[in-house]
Structure 1
Amino acid sequence: MATSSETQVHDKFRCPWCMGFKEYMHYHDEEWGVPVFDDQKQFEFLVLESAQAGLSWSTILKKREGYRQAFADFDYRIVADMPEGYVQELLQNAGIIRNELKIRAAINNARRFMEIQASSGSFSHYIWDFVDGKPVQNEWKSLSEIPATTAISDRLAKDLKKKGFKFLGSTTLYAHMQATGLVNDHMVECWRYEEVRNLGLSL
């Protein structure tokens, strides 16, 4: 039987895309849209978002723990040095998406990620510069209003491609921006909208 607190949470209006299973709603309620300034967490979302290409986010979310184990808790320094033998092991790992191009892209992107750290001080500093250090606050009233890409995600994708990143096009990077709080795309009716907005305004 659900507790009264669980019922109260379930009665709240959420962005409709997260409905379906408990972990999806938890992700929406606790993580999605919260500003991320930690480089390891930024790298985690880059790996997961690039793995999602052509798939649903719910599929990736169900494999998140598998990715955490396979990719050393998303320690980009370890991922950058993963040897060929381990790549072959990952291709047999049912806990992740067994796509060779995506696996190799994660390793490549870890190396490029560290290059940005070296030149910009941190990856977070680099990516937050695209929104002038403050989350973009949108006011969407329906899912149909939310864009798949923006001029900012286009510029980010172009710059990362120039820097050698792979599997990170504009659509994927806009999803990354949504996830890591560079943009608040919770619908205004969603119970998390104001909470996430306040987090952004306090920066």
Structure 2
Amino acid sequence: MDKKRCFWVNSDQIYIDYHDKEWGTPVYDDKTLFEFLILETFQAGLSWITILKKRENFRKAFDDFDYQKIALYSEEKYDSLLQDSGIIRNKLKVKSAITNAKFFMEVQKEFGSFSKFIWGYVDGKPIVNTFHKREDVPATTELSDKISKDLKKRGFKFVGSTVMYAYMQAVGMVNDHTTDCFRYNEI
């Protein structure tokens, strides 16, 4: 018997695996939180399936999402990333990955971890929504607006409210699995 999944999951196995094993599962690890920050910022204006299909290329190109290394990328490394056909070669997005790595570490210094900072917006536990259909799921919320403004004030790039809400969904700050999805109750 087929499992009932969220409306956005298509028949592509990479999408199914992502939905079934990752999306909406609470993430408290700074390394993974940074990975999703990079992936979500590159996704801006594109489909998520595009990013998922290139995820391993991103991992390789960006030193396994090691923010300490990324923050120190030279102009030569930046130029090489722009030549890497395995990733999204958008100059501003590549530059933002380097910029965001630097500010990610600034947040760590201030709060002890990025996790403490970002999860502080939801008191350390996911917001459980009860959405039934596609039309119920928002693209932004007051909270994603607030997080976006805070991150922008801190110098982060490509962190608009829509990107931040998608980030909150991905890292499990909100449980936006629809109520008929098998993952809704698992999470």
TM-score by length of structure 1 reads 0.91
**Distance in 1 (alpha carbons) for counterparts of 2:167 and 2:9:** 16
Match of 1:32 among 23, 34, 40: 23
- Report the counterpart of residue 141 of structure 2 in structure 1: 150
On the 8 A contact 2:7/2:133 being kept in 1, the answer is no
Alignment of 1:33-112 (within 5 A): 33-112=24-103
Match of 1:21 among 12, 29, 35: 12
Aligned residues: 187
- Report the counterpart of residue 171 of structure 2 in structure 1: 180
**Distance in 1 (alpha carbons) for counterparts of 2:108 and 2:59:** 22
Gaps of at least 5 residues in structure 2 are none
**Distance in 1 (alpha carbons) for counterparts of 2:11 and 2:48:** 12
Q: Deviations over 1:146-177 (max 9, x none)?
A: 00001110100000000000001000000000
**Distance in 1 (alpha carbons) for counterparts of 2:130 and 2:15:** 22
SS at match of 2:86: coil
Q: CA deviation at 1:18?
A: 1.5
How high is the sequence identity, in percent, across the aligned residues? 57
Q: CA deviation at 1:134?
A: 1.1
Q: CA deviation at 1:111?
A: 0.1
**Distance in 1 (alpha carbons) for counterparts of 2:142 and 2:119:** 15
**Distance in 2 (alpha carbons) for counterparts of 1:141 and 1:83:** 47
Q: CA deviation at 1:50?
A: 0.3
SS at match of 2:76: helix
Q: CA deviation at 1:20?
A: 3.2
> Partner letter of residue 44 of structure 2?
A
SS at match of 2:158: coil
**Distance in 1 (alpha carbons) for counterparts of 2:91 and 2:9:** 28
Match of 1:128 among 119, 124, 129: 119
**Distance in 2 (alpha carbons) for counterparts of 1:84 and 1:105:** 13
Larger radius of gyration: 1
Moved segments of 4+, more than 6 Å? none
> Partner letter of residue 119 of structure 1?
E
> Partner letter of residue 49 of structure 1?
E
2:83 aligned with 1:116: no
TM-score by length of structure 2 reads 0.99
Gaps of at least 5 residues in structure 1 are 1-7, 197-203
Q: CA deviation at 1:58?
A: 0.4
**Distance in 2 (alpha carbons) for counterparts of 1:20 and 1:62:** 14
